[in-house]
Structure 1
Amino acid sequence: MHRQWTGGSVVLDTDQARARASARDYLTKYLSLPNYTSYLTRAGYTDDDFKDGGSDRLVEARVALGDAEQVRTRIEEFHKAGAGHVAVQIALSEGQGYPELLRQYRELAQALPLKP
Protein backbone atom coordinates (compact mmCIF):
# COMPACT_ATOMS: atom_id res chain seq x y z
CA MET A 1 0.00 0.00 0.00
CA HIS A 2 1.39 3.38 -1.01
CA ARG A 3 1.24 5.85 1.86
CA GLN A 4 1.10 9.51 1.01
CA TRP A 5 3.04 12.06 2.99
CA THR A 6 2.70 15.79 3.28
CA GLY A 7 4.40 18.56 5.10
CA GLY A 8 3.36 21.84 6.52
CA SER A 9 4.50 24.84 8.40
CA VAL A 10 3.36 25.67 11.90
CA VAL A 11 3.12 28.91 13.85
CA LEU A 12 2.45 28.27 17.54
CA ASP A 13 0.79 31.45 18.75
CA THR A 14 -2.62 31.99 20.32
CA ASP A 15 -2.87 35.54 18.93
CA GLN A 16 -4.26 34.97 15.43
CA ALA A 17 -3.18 38.35 14.03
CA ARG A 18 0.37 37.84 15.26
CA ALA A 19 0.36 34.23 14.03
CA ARG A 20 -0.73 35.33 10.54
CA ALA A 21 1.98 38.01 10.51
CA SER A 22 4.61 35.41 11.45
CA ALA A 23 3.28 33.06 8.78
CA ARG A 24 3.46 35.82 6.17
CA ASP A 25 7.05 36.61 7.12
CA TYR A 26 7.85 32.92 6.69
CA LEU A 27 5.97 32.51 3.39
CA THR A 28 7.42 35.63 1.75
CA LYS A 29 10.60 33.84 0.64
CA TYR A 30 8.59 30.98 -0.89
CA LEU A 31 6.21 33.33 -2.68
CA SER A 32 9.20 34.84 -4.48
CA LEU A 33 10.07 31.47 -6.04
CA PRO A 34 8.51 30.78 -9.47
CA ASN A 35 8.32 27.02 -8.88
CA TYR A 36 6.38 27.54 -5.66
CA THR A 37 3.92 30.07 -7.11
CA SER A 38 3.48 27.86 -10.18
CA TYR A 39 2.51 24.95 -7.95
CA LEU A 40 0.12 27.16 -5.97
CA THR A 41 -1.41 28.53 -9.17
CA ARG A 42 -2.12 24.98 -10.31
CA ALA A 43 -3.71 24.41 -6.90
CA GLY A 44 -6.15 27.27 -7.54
CA TYR A 45 -4.47 30.33 -6.09
CA THR A 46 -4.10 33.59 -8.02
CA ASP A 47 -1.50 36.34 -8.17
CA ASP A 48 -3.58 38.30 -5.64
CA ASP A 49 -3.05 35.46 -3.14
CA PHE A 50 0.74 35.91 -3.42
CA LYS A 51 0.85 39.63 -2.52
CA ASP A 52 2.11 40.93 0.82
CA GLY A 53 3.18 37.55 2.16
CA GLY A 54 0.00 35.80 1.13
CA SER A 55 -3.75 36.25 1.41
CA ASP A 56 -5.58 35.04 4.51
CA ARG A 57 -6.90 32.14 2.42
CA LEU A 58 -3.40 31.08 1.39
CA VAL A 59 -1.86 31.58 4.83
CA GLU A 60 -4.56 29.57 6.59
CA ALA A 61 -4.33 26.76 4.04
CA ARG A 62 -0.53 26.48 4.02
CA VAL A 63 0.35 27.17 7.66
CA ALA A 64 -1.22 25.64 10.76
CA LEU A 65 -1.85 28.51 13.15
CA GLY A 66 -2.74 28.53 16.82
CA ASP A 67 -1.91 26.65 19.97
CA ALA A 68 -0.56 23.10 20.04
CA GLU A 69 -4.06 21.56 20.17
CA GLN A 70 -5.21 23.54 17.12
CA VAL A 71 -2.10 22.44 15.23
CA ARG A 72 -2.69 18.83 16.29
CA THR A 73 -6.20 19.07 14.85
CA ARG A 74 -4.79 20.30 11.51
CA ILE A 75 -2.30 17.42 11.44
CA GLU A 76 -5.13 14.97 12.13
CA GLU A 77 -7.00 16.44 9.14
CA PHE A 78 -4.04 15.51 6.92
CA HIS A 79 -4.11 11.95 8.27
CA LYS A 80 -7.88 11.68 7.71
CA ALA A 81 -7.33 12.85 4.14
CA GLY A 82 -4.95 9.93 3.55
CA ALA A 83 -1.51 11.13 4.56
CA GLY A 84 0.47 8.39 6.23
CA HIS A 85 3.20 10.77 7.35
CA VAL A 86 3.00 14.47 8.11
CA ALA A 87 6.21 16.48 8.50
CA VAL A 88 5.93 19.78 10.34
CA GLN A 89 8.26 22.73 10.32
CA ILE A 90 7.88 25.45 12.91
CA ALA A 91 8.07 28.90 11.39
CA LEU A 92 9.62 31.31 13.86
CA SER A 93 9.10 35.04 13.90
CA GLU A 94 12.04 37.30 13.21
CA GLY A 95 14.27 37.55 16.25
CA GLN A 96 13.28 34.20 17.72
CA GLY A 97 16.21 31.84 18.03
CA TYR A 98 17.10 28.22 18.58
CA PRO A 99 15.94 28.05 22.24
CA GLU A 100 12.46 29.21 21.16
CA LEU A 101 12.43 26.70 18.32
CA LEU A 102 13.20 23.87 20.74
CA ARG A 103 10.58 25.10 23.19
CA GLN A 104 7.90 25.13 20.48
CA TYR A 105 8.84 21.68 19.16
CA ARG A 106 8.61 20.32 22.72
CA GLU A 107 5.23 21.96 23.22
CA LEU A 108 3.95 20.55 19.95
CA ALA A 109 5.37 17.08 20.66
CA GLN A 110 3.41 16.92 23.92
CA ALA A 111 0.16 17.50 22.00
CA LEU A 112 0.85 14.89 19.32
CA PRO A 113 0.28 11.15 19.58
CA LEU A 114 3.87 10.35 18.62
CA LYS A 115 4.96 6.77 18.06
CA PRO A 116 8.58 5.55 18.18
Structure 2
Amino acid sequence: MDVALVKATKISELIDKLNKRSSDISIKSCLNVCSAYYGVAIDNLQRAIHVFELGTYKDSDEFLATAVEALGDCEDTFSEPQIHRKSPLTATNAYFASMATITEDILSIFMKPKSP
Protein backbone atom coordinates (compact mmCIF):
# COMPACT_ATOMS: atom_id res chain seq x y z
CA MET A 1 0.00 0.00 0.00
CA ASP A 2 2.94 2.29 0.59
CA VAL A 3 3.88 1.96 -3.08
CA ALA A 4 0.29 2.74 -4.12
CA LEU A 5 0.35 5.82 -1.89
CA VAL A 6 3.58 7.04 -3.48
CA LYS A 7 2.17 6.43 -6.97
CA ALA A 8 -1.11 8.21 -6.16
CA THR A 9 0.87 11.18 -4.86
CA LYS A 10 2.93 11.29 -8.06
CA ILE A 11 -0.21 11.08 -10.17
CA SER A 12 -1.68 13.97 -8.19
CA GLU A 13 1.44 16.00 -8.97
CA LEU A 14 1.15 15.02 -12.65
CA ILE A 15 -2.47 16.19 -12.69
CA ASP A 16 -1.38 19.56 -11.34
CA LYS A 17 1.32 19.84 -14.05
CA LEU A 18 -1.11 18.88 -16.81
CA ASN A 19 -3.61 21.40 -15.49
CA LYS A 20 -1.04 24.20 -15.60
CA ARG A 21 -0.03 23.31 -19.18
CA SER A 22 -3.53 22.95 -20.60
CA SER A 23 -5.40 25.79 -22.23
CA ASP A 24 -8.57 23.72 -22.84
CA ILE A 25 -11.15 24.78 -20.26
CA SER A 26 -12.95 21.42 -20.42
CA ILE A 27 -9.73 19.50 -19.81
CA LYS A 28 -8.80 21.84 -16.95
CA SER A 29 -12.23 21.25 -15.42
CA CYS A 30 -11.77 17.49 -15.63
CA LEU A 31 -8.27 17.72 -14.20
CA ASN A 32 -9.60 19.76 -11.27
CA VAL A 33 -12.13 17.01 -10.59
CA CYS A 34 -9.41 14.38 -10.90
CA SER A 35 -7.23 16.33 -8.49
CA ALA A 36 -10.04 16.20 -5.92
CA TYR A 37 -10.58 12.47 -6.51
CA TYR A 38 -6.88 11.75 -6.08
CA GLY A 39 -6.88 13.82 -2.89
CA VAL A 40 -9.59 11.50 -1.59
CA ALA A 41 -7.66 8.46 -2.83
CA ILE A 42 -4.50 9.59 -1.04
CA ASP A 43 -6.44 10.14 2.20
CA ASN A 44 -8.01 6.69 1.89
CA LEU A 45 -4.67 5.04 1.16
CA GLN A 46 -3.20 6.67 4.27
CA ARG A 47 -6.16 5.35 6.28
CA ALA A 48 -5.79 1.91 4.70
CA ILE A 49 -2.15 1.78 5.75
CA HIS A 50 -2.96 2.95 9.27
CA VAL A 51 -5.71 0.39 9.92
CA PHE A 52 -3.62 -2.34 8.26
CA GLU A 53 -0.86 -1.64 10.76
CA LEU A 54 -3.47 -2.03 13.51
CA GLY A 55 -4.42 -5.43 12.08
CA THR A 56 -7.85 -4.31 10.88
CA TYR A 57 -7.54 -5.85 7.44
CA LYS A 58 -11.20 -5.63 6.44
CA ASP A 59 -11.24 -1.88 7.10
CA SER A 60 -7.97 -1.56 5.22
CA ASP A 61 -9.52 -3.36 2.25
CA GLU A 62 -12.52 -1.00 2.30
CA PHE A 63 -10.31 2.11 2.33
CA LEU A 64 -8.22 0.65 -0.49
CA ALA A 65 -11.34 -0.10 -2.57
CA THR A 66 -12.56 3.47 -2.07
CA ALA A 67 -9.20 4.78 -3.26
CA VAL A 68 -9.43 2.65 -6.41
CA GLU A 69 -12.94 3.95 -7.13
CA ALA A 70 -11.54 7.48 -7.29
CA LEU A 71 -9.46 6.79 -10.38
CA GLY A 72 -12.46 5.33 -12.20
CA ASP A 73 -14.42 8.42 -11.28
CA CYS A 74 -11.55 10.55 -12.58
CA GLU A 75 -11.62 8.79 -15.95
CA ASP A 76 -15.41 9.10 -16.13
CA THR A 77 -15.25 12.89 -15.96
CA PHE A 78 -13.60 12.99 -19.39
CA SER A 79 -16.41 11.02 -21.02
CA GLU A 80 -19.30 13.15 -19.78
CA PRO A 81 -21.43 14.21 -22.77
CA GLN A 82 -20.81 17.96 -22.42
CA ILE A 83 -17.03 17.41 -22.22
CA HIS A 84 -16.18 14.17 -24.03
CA ARG A 85 -12.42 14.56 -24.37
CA LYS A 86 -9.65 11.96 -24.43
CA SER A 87 -8.26 11.60 -20.95
CA PRO A 88 -4.54 12.31 -20.67
CA LEU A 89 -4.54 10.07 -17.60
CA THR A 90 -5.91 6.81 -19.05
CA ALA A 91 -2.60 4.92 -19.11
CA THR A 92 -1.56 6.31 -15.72
CA ASN A 93 -4.91 5.43 -14.15
CA ALA A 94 -4.75 1.93 -15.67
CA TYR A 95 -1.29 1.37 -14.21
CA PHE A 96 -2.46 2.56 -10.79
CA ALA A 97 -5.54 0.30 -11.05
CA SER A 98 -3.38 -2.74 -11.78
CA MET A 99 -1.08 -1.89 -8.89
CA ALA A 100 -4.06 -1.46 -6.57
CA THR A 101 -5.55 -4.77 -7.73
CA ILE A 102 -2.32 -6.55 -6.82
CA THR A 103 -2.38 -4.79 -3.44
CA GLU A 104 -5.99 -5.92 -2.90
CA ASP A 105 -4.99 -9.50 -3.78
CA ILE A 106 -2.17 -9.43 -1.24
CA LEU A 107 -4.46 -7.91 1.37
CA SER A 108 -6.99 -10.69 0.79
CA ILE A 109 -4.36 -13.16 2.00
CA PHE A 110 -4.28 -11.38 5.37
CA MET A 111 -8.07 -11.47 5.54
CA LYS A 112 -8.36 -15.24 5.11
CA PRO A 113 -9.20 -17.10 8.32
CA LYS A 114 -6.24 -18.95 9.72
CA SER A 115 -6.43 -22.73 9.78
CA PRO A 116 -6.38 -24.41 13.21
TM-score calculated relative to the size of structure 2: 0.31
TM-score by structure 1 length? 0.31
Greater Rg over alpha carbons, structure:
2
State the structure with bigger RCO (CA 8 A, min sep 6), 1 or 2: 1
Higher relative helix content: 2
Instruction: Indicate the structure with greater strand content.
Output: 1
